[in-house]
Amino acid sequence: MTSCSRCHSRRLGFTLIEVLVVVAIIALLVAVLLPSLARAREQARGSACLSNLKQQGTGLSTYSADHKGFLPWAGSFRYSLMEGEYYVGTGNHDWTRVNTGVLYPKYIGKTPDLFYCPNNLTADINGSRGKACFLQRYAHPKHGDPDYEDAHNFPISPVGAYAYAVPVVSARSPRDAGRDMYKDSATETFWDGQSNPYKLYLDDPTEPDPSFLGPFPRGTRGRHNLPAVLSDGYFGGYQGYHNKAYNVLYGDFHAKRVIDPHGKIFAAQLGPVRPFSYDGINGAGRVYQVWDYFGRQN
């Protein structure tokens, strides 16, 4: 009996080889599953971003119906949700809502989370210029309010994650008008008479660098049945990127995923467009070329 008990106890244990085989199998499963889990998480974030754009599109459509076909005022900075009126040409220092920030709260409900792409880490919803900043400025927009913050100090203005109406001059509005969304009256000159770099891009005689997104011949630039109105960030450090693609909202307020061709847009790490400067189609013009590319993908 004693001998059989010892044999039985040995059968209940595992050999070193068996343990190593199990560990190897677990390691293999982890190696196989982790990339799939990462892709699933990224797809979920991309879907959340696309949902944000669709809900803002619904708000823009309703806003248009209430404002005779006009869409919200474009700010000087295309990710801003509010700016000092000084920056959009009035000279005052009160806060004004611009870009899609105008939709809050009447047209999107009390959900400023919609302004933030989960992959845009620069425009972090919980960052110093994120949701809490926006709500504070919204509640205290007037100079003289004890809790007012200086609206002439742009670095403390609230920002969102999405680029709005890139071709439009500051303090002008695009129109809810299909291919005529960006009329000359909204894109031609700034309030002080300066030329808009977007118009210079449209007329630049230089062919784009084919190694980027072109060539987009002059005469075809900016001509789309449904131009882009809102997109993931792609310049000025505000990158919203989803499995080598950007999400874009179009002029009929449908949103879709647009592939970044060979990762060229992301790799370019484009700087912000300065309001009164244009250094050619292969410089600042590439910001407009990307917007043009988005329009061509509808």
CB 181 within 8 A of CB 251: yes
In 3D space, the residue among 156, 163, 174 whose CA is nearest the CA of residue 272 turns out to be 163
State pLDDT tens for residues 30-49: 777 777 677 788 889 999 99
CB 238 within 8 A of CB 163: yes
State pLDDT tens for residues 260-290: 999 999 999 999 887 778 889 988 899 999 9
Q: Which of 14-18, 92-96, 206-210, 288-292 has the lowest mean pLDDT?
A: 14-18
* 1 inside domain: no
> What is the model's pTM?
0.88
Q: What is the mean pLDDT of the chain?
A: 91
69 to each of 63, 176, 183, how far by Cα in Å? Answer: 8, 5, 13
Residues near 102 by Cβ (< 8 Å), separated by ≥ 6?
A: 63, 72, 73
User: How many CB atoms are closer than 10 A to CB 34?
Assistant: 10
pLDDT of residue 6: 53
User: How many CB atoms are closer than 10 A to CB 276?
Assistant: 11
* 235 inside domain: yes
* 82 inside domain: yes
Q: Which domain holds residue 61?
A: 45-296
* 63 inside domain: yes
CA distance 25 to 33: 12
pLDDT at 252 over 90: yes
When divided into structural domains, the chain yields a total of 1
pLDDT at 102 over 90: yes
Length of the chain: 298
**Burial (Cβ within 10 Å: 0-12, 13-18, ≥19) of residue 122:** middle
* 266 inside domain: yes
CB 183 within 8 A of CB 168: no
The DSSP secondary structure of 18-87, one letter per residue, reads HHHHHHHHHHHHHHHHHHHHHHHHHHHHHHHHHHHHHHHHHHHHHHHHHTTTBPPPPPSSTTBSEEEGGG
φ, ψ dihedrals at 262, nearest 5°: 55, 25
* 265 inside domain: yes
* 68 inside domain: yes
CA distance 261 to 281: 18
State pLDDT tens for residues 191-237: 667 788 999 999 999 888 888 998 999 999 999 999 999 999 999 99
* 112 inside domain: yes
State pLDDT tens for residues 23-32: 888 888 877 7
